[in-house]
Amino acid sequence: MPIHQVEVDQSGKIEDTRNATVVAFSDGIHGAVLIPTRVKRECIAILRATGKARPTILAHLFATVLYLLLRDHVQDMALVVIDVEYVGHNREIKQHLLNLLRRGGHPVSADQISFRHIGKKSPAHRLAIETLRGKRAPDRRVTLEELLAEA
């Protein structure tokens, strides 16, 4: 039975290909994934070559990173509150994330995932920024192959 209500925050935008990105969740349980600069740069270039629009690419990449972050823990989460990172794309991000989770065999309802602005005092924000700054190790580093397989 899911019991945790977690917040999710991103530190370092996916579209900023000069810096790494960390996406983290926290509140009772926690986790963080890091997307290296090179991986982001190569992935965006490959997806752009397919003709996808930049906003769609970024929304799908964010949803994919959320999936990679949450998939091993979602069964314990009653509610996942994601910081609004890509204004106007929450619905697209949520739908792609739900599709990835369900396809991966994780039964999840749309009601379990919501979006709102997460403040800088959030434990998820602190975890993401500390991981980005190298004060904490990420739980995993995302590979180009993982992103391309799900984006």
Q: Is residue 77 part of a domain?
A: yes
- Reported pTM: 0.95
Q: In this structure, what CATH number is given to the domain that contains residue 96?
A: 3.30.420
Q: Is residue 123 part of a domain?
A: yes
Q: For residue 108, give its domain range.
A: 4-145
pLDDT at 115: 98
Distance CA 37, CA 42 (A): 9
Q: Is residue 68 part of a domain?
A: yes
Q: Is residue 69 part of a domain?
A: yes
Distance CA 31, CA 5 (A): 13
In total, the chain counts a number of residues equal to 151
pLDDT in tens, 77-126: 999 999 999 999 999 999 999 999 999 999 899 999 999 999 999 999 99
Residue 136 DSSP symbol:
S
Q: Is residue 129 part of a domain?
A: yes
pLDDT at 3: 87
Query: Tokens 């009601």 identify what position?
Result: 111
Q: Is residue 151 part of a domain?
A: no
Closest CA to 120 of 5, 11, 33, 35: 11
- Indicate left, alpha or beta for 35 from its phi (over 0: left) and psi (-120 to 50: alpha): beta
Number of separate domains in the chain: 1
Please provide the average confidence, as pLDDT, over all residues in the chain: 95
By the 10 Å C-beta count (0-12 exposed, 13-18 middle, 19+ buried), 149 is classed as exposed
At 94, list the tokens.
């949520």
Q: Is residue 150 part of a domain?
A: no
Q: Is residue 117 part of a domain?
A: yes
Query: Tokens 């982001």 identify what position?
Result: 40
